[in-house]
Copies of this chain bind each other. A is one copy, B any other.
Amino acid sequence: MSANYQFKCITCGKFFPANNAPEYVCPVCSEKQEAGKSLLGVLECLYDYEEYKLSHIKKNAGTEIIFPPVVFPPLKVGNTPLYSSEILRKKIDIKNLWLKDETVEPTGSYKDRASYLVVAMACKKGYDKITCASTGNAASSLAGICASAGIESYIFVSASAPRAKLVQLAAYGANLFPINGNYDTCFELSLQATEKFGWYNRNTAYNPWTIEGKKTAAWEIACQLNFDLPDQVFVPTGDGVIISGIYKGFFDLLQLGWIEKIPQLVAVQPEGSDAIVKALAEDEKEISKIFRDSADSVADSLVVNAPRNAEMALRSLKMSDGYGLIVSDDEIIKAIAEVSSSTGIFVEPAASTAWAGIKKARETGKISAEQTAAILLTGTGLKDIASAEKATQLPSPVEPNLEAVASCLA
């Protein structure tokens, strides 16, 4: 699956050969970078697709995703199920609906796809210490995959992250910094620490391999549907890296001539953290203006003031003829119970955001009854029991006799 590649700066368009590439972002564009803003100079990995085609065939695409040469860590990441849900499909009356179930990734979220490749890259480059800033899922993902590979992780996460995510991190043996500050603060601090302590940095988008790792779900969806792609793919969006990764996966397949068209990508954001969707609506071109003051939502995984990968996310939406949608926290919470009780897939708020999004798309005519769609269920509900509790009502304790049981049924 390994292929020759080069990087291209998404901001200025400059190419960097693999053997002389910057570790993270474009050195020229990042000169203009302001702290706490969306990233300038994110790098995109472009392969020698013509060469790859000589030795690979479409039929094997599922097991031969195009990557640089690396050795992956031991935990099994990806190859998650793609379910066709009759129950949910009927609720919104569309032709076909597929669910990409990322709740069964080894640490319980989509983020494992990025951590997997980043840890492989760290090993290749000779690092034995990796850091990242995260809203929680990327952190536990990095910590878990580092644990499996015997590598140290240094994690910057808001001290207010859901308890389950912090405890999971600690159990993985991560060196944990619960920061008195939000995700954006953690992001900046981790960049400083990277420089100061010489760690490898997994920050989303800042490290270009996060995008390459996240592209794998697009390859899987294509293969699982025998290349008969859905019309639209709904992606819960915070920093904009998953949607950029999904675009990149389909882009690869398009370059290889294995698909004819990239599905319309749909960025779904909570109304309290909607910077990318708003920037798309306003056709915002200046990255530093893509910003949300005091972002907040029940979907904690999606809460960012400055979406780090805004530029690439916006390009992905435009190039795929996609669009953005904003949903409320109430809709997200309601969607937790709808998805879980209709599919058996217990989802966290960020994941149910995708279902809230497609409902809204159907109501507003953005997708028709004749169309097909896939939604990404990006993380397990077990990570955020407090939110799931808002979506449900735990019944009162029942006395241990049949009469008491019968009265509950009445």
Contacts and interface: CB of A to CB of B under 8 A. Distances in A.
A304 to B, nearest CB: 16
Contact of A344 (B103, B145, B178, B382): B145
B344 A385 contact: no
Contacts of A180: 397-400
Contact of A402 (B178, B192, B346): B192
A110 B252 CA distance: 37
A358 interface: no
A341 B401 CA distance: 44
A186 to B, nearest CB: 8
A179 B398 CA distance: 5
B179 A346 contact: no
A166 interface: yes
Given A159-B397, A394-B176, A402 B171 contact: no
A193 B145 CA distance: 45
Interface stretch (A5-13, A53-61, A74-82, A295-303): A74-82
Interface in A25-50: none
Interface string A112-151: 0000000000000000000000000000100011111110
Contact of A76 (B81, B166, B176, B401): B81
Interface string A215-241: 000000000000000000000000000
Nearest to A192: B402
A189 interface: yes
Which of A106, A383, A402 gathers the greatest number of chain B CB atoms within 10 Å? A106
A400 B178 CA distance: 9
A388 B342 CA distance: 30
A207 interface: no
Given A181-B400, A398-B179, A392 B193 contact: no
A171 B107 contact: no
A261 interface: no
B172 A340 contact: yes
Contacts of A178: 394-398
Contacts of A396: 178
Given A144-B344, A175-B408, 13 more contacts: A75-B83, A75-B345, A87-B150, A106-B344, A148-B343, A170-B393, A172-B344, A173-B340, A178-B396, A179-B400, A180-B398, A185-B400, A189-B400
